[in-house]
Amino acid sequence: MPLDIAIVGAGPAGLTLARSLRGSGLEIALIDPQPREALAEPAFDGREIALTHPSRRLLEAAGIWARLDAEAIAPLREARIVDGRGTTPLTIGSGGRAPLGFLVANQAIRRAAFDAAIDGDGVRLFAGCRVVALDTSRQDRTVLQLSDGRTLAARLVVAADGRYSTTRRLLGIGARQRDFGKTMLVCRMTHERPHESIALEWFDHGQTVALLPLAGRCSSLVLTLPPLQIERLIALDDAAFGAEITQRLRGRLGAMRPAGSRHAYPLVASFADRFAGPRCALVGDAAVGMHPVTAHGFNFGLLGQARLAAAIRAGAASPGGDVADPVRLARYAREHRRETEPLYRATQLIVSLYTDERAPARWLRGAVLGAAARLPPLRRAIAARLTGRVDPLPG
Ligand SMILES: Cc1cc2nc3c(=O)[nH]c(=O)nc-3n(C[C@H](O)[C@H](O)[C@H](O)COP(=O)(O)OP(=O)(O)OC[C@H]3O[C@@H](n4cnc5c(N)ncnc54)[C@H](O)[C@@H]3O)c2cc1C
């Protein structure tokens, strides 16, 4: 008998989906090349994930939020976007006492999501192995060949293996990809002056810097530069690195020192051609791999898994009892595309405009930022979206 669902990839999106299907009575396999210990106790990867209020609600519904330590959650009061010319900053605040959003380390999310996903029956973990081939020739199931020689059959295969998804390829689904030719360095830094829970996004000439406020006088530095410059910065000792970052930030928060390991991420965005097909669906970065500048990758991943879980449950409960009901999968794909594509495209535009060092682009971005800063309805609309006053998930 085939399993109901094979989720390929036990990252935050795949794990949350497995948890969202808890209590459905479905048999689920979770497959990931990392060993079980690494999934249960993930290493720090430098990423601090900015979460919106709707995402918090989805994490609460999945029993993941309650598993996060309270001190691992940093509130975000305000976000300020500035450019290299010192144009009026675009300031986005919640306008109330509630924070604009929350910052949580990806490591903490992964740990809590793993705990939640494997807590309960119905989920079997296949750790330390990857999917090497898929046989999609049968109508009622897909057969997965694992790297350790085992085979599995499932009524539905979900690709949740990240933006470079091998499963997407094995399913014959293409993706638009864009390599920005830059690398992002992420690292925690302590600093002299308080950050006042304000996030800074600074599109400076020749560099893009984000500072995300964490607990105490500590922020996550996100610095985007050409790859060779990032390699040089990673090789510096702590003192030289701290001095250079202080100088790059022009002393905004006083002297800065690294407070942990440095991590580099090549900037590549991807958008799958299809989010679902016969007996398959894509979720998380395998569907939409956002550029991190708009901090929406996992927020979209959470929305997508919630929609997909609802489609699977509805299919299983229908008279045909099919978890891969094509009509429901197609609706998931359509709605998730409609939700994500505008911001995906807008992010590409923002990044192109703000990393172009030619004079017209420099002028234009100052003008755009200045105009946006003088448009309170725009600022309110962004804040409403982040705080959940506009909830992207109806019902
Ligand atoms: C620097 C940085 C900052 C970010 N900041 C934010 C933010 O502020 N807000 C936000 O919403 N998002 C942010 N993101 C995006 C967020 O981290 C991702 O959207 C999220 O991690 C995607 O989760 P995922 O489970 O889809 O994929 P991944 O996290 O990539 O996990 C994929 C999983 O699949 C496994 N896998 C890989 N290959 C295979 C295979 N062949 N077979 C089986 N398993 C496989 C991997 O081991 C991994 O466990 C940021 C990203 C970066 C790089």
List pLDDT tens digits, range 17-35.
999 999 999 999 999 999 9
Residue 229 lies in a domain: no
283, 160 contact by CB (below 8 A): yes
Crossing angle for the helix pair 297-317 and 326-354, nearest 10 degrees?
170
Q: Kindly indicate the confidence band of residue 373, based on its pLDDT and cuts at 50, 70 and 90.
A: low
Residue 240 lies in a domain: no
Q: Kindly indicate the confidence band of residue 386, based on its pLDDT and cuts at 50, 70 and 90.
A: low
The C-alpha atoms of residue 185 and residue 265 are separated, in whole angstroms, by 7
Whether the predicted pLDDT of 79 surpasses 90: no
Taking the CA of residue 8 as reference, the ligand 1 atom at the shortest distance is 43
- The pick from 161, 230, 261 for probing ligand 1's pocket by mutation, whose C-beta has the most ligand atoms within 8 angstroms, reads 161
Gap from CA of 297 to ligand 1 centroid (Å): 8
Nearest partner of 393 among 340, 328, 317, 315, judged by Cα: 340
Q: What is the pLDDT of residue 29?
A: 97
- The CATH number assigned to the domain holding 282 equals 3.50.50.60
**95-99, 253-257, 333-337: least confident range:** 95-99
Residue 262 lies in a domain: no
Atom 27 in ligand 1: which residue has the minimum CA distance? 162
Please state, rounded to an integer, the average pLDDT across all residues of the chain.
90
Residue 329 lies in a domain: yes
Whether the predicted pLDDT of 95 surpasses 80: no
Residue 250 lies in a domain: no
Q: What is the pLDDT of residue 353?
A: 66
Whether the predicted pLDDT of 387 surpasses 70: no
Q: Kindly indicate the confidence band of residue 394, based on its pLDDT and cuts at 50, 70 and 90.
A: very low
Give the mean model confidence (pLDDT) for residues 3-24. 97
Q: What is the pLDDT of residue 35?
A: 98
Residue 369 lies in a domain: no
Percent of the chain surpassing pLDDT 90: 74
Total count of domains within the chain: 1
Whether the predicted pLDDT of 318 surpasses 50: yes
316, 323 contact by CB (below 8 A): yes
The C-alpha atoms of residue 230 and residue 248 are separated, in whole angstroms, by 13
Q: Which residues line ligand 1 (CB under 6 A)?
A: 8-14, 31-34, 47, 49-50, 106, 130-131, 160-162, 166, 184, 186, 265, 284-285, 292, 295-299, 301
177, 140 contact by CB (below 8 A): no
Q: Report pTM.
A: 0.92
DSSP 43: P
Residue 334's domain comprises 3-74+102-177+269-355
Gap from CA of 117 to ligand 1 centroid (Å): 16
Whether the predicted pLDDT of 343 surpasses 80: yes
Residue 374 lies in a domain: no
Residue 381 lies in a domain: no
Encode pLDDT of 223-242 as tens digits. 999 999 999 999 999 999 99
Encode pLDDT of 47-63 as tens digits. 999 999 999 999 999 99
Encode pLDDT of 151-176 as tens digits. 999 999 999 999 999 999 999 999 99
The C-alpha atoms of residue 64 and residue 199 are separated, in whole angstroms, by 25
Total number of residues shown for the chain = 395
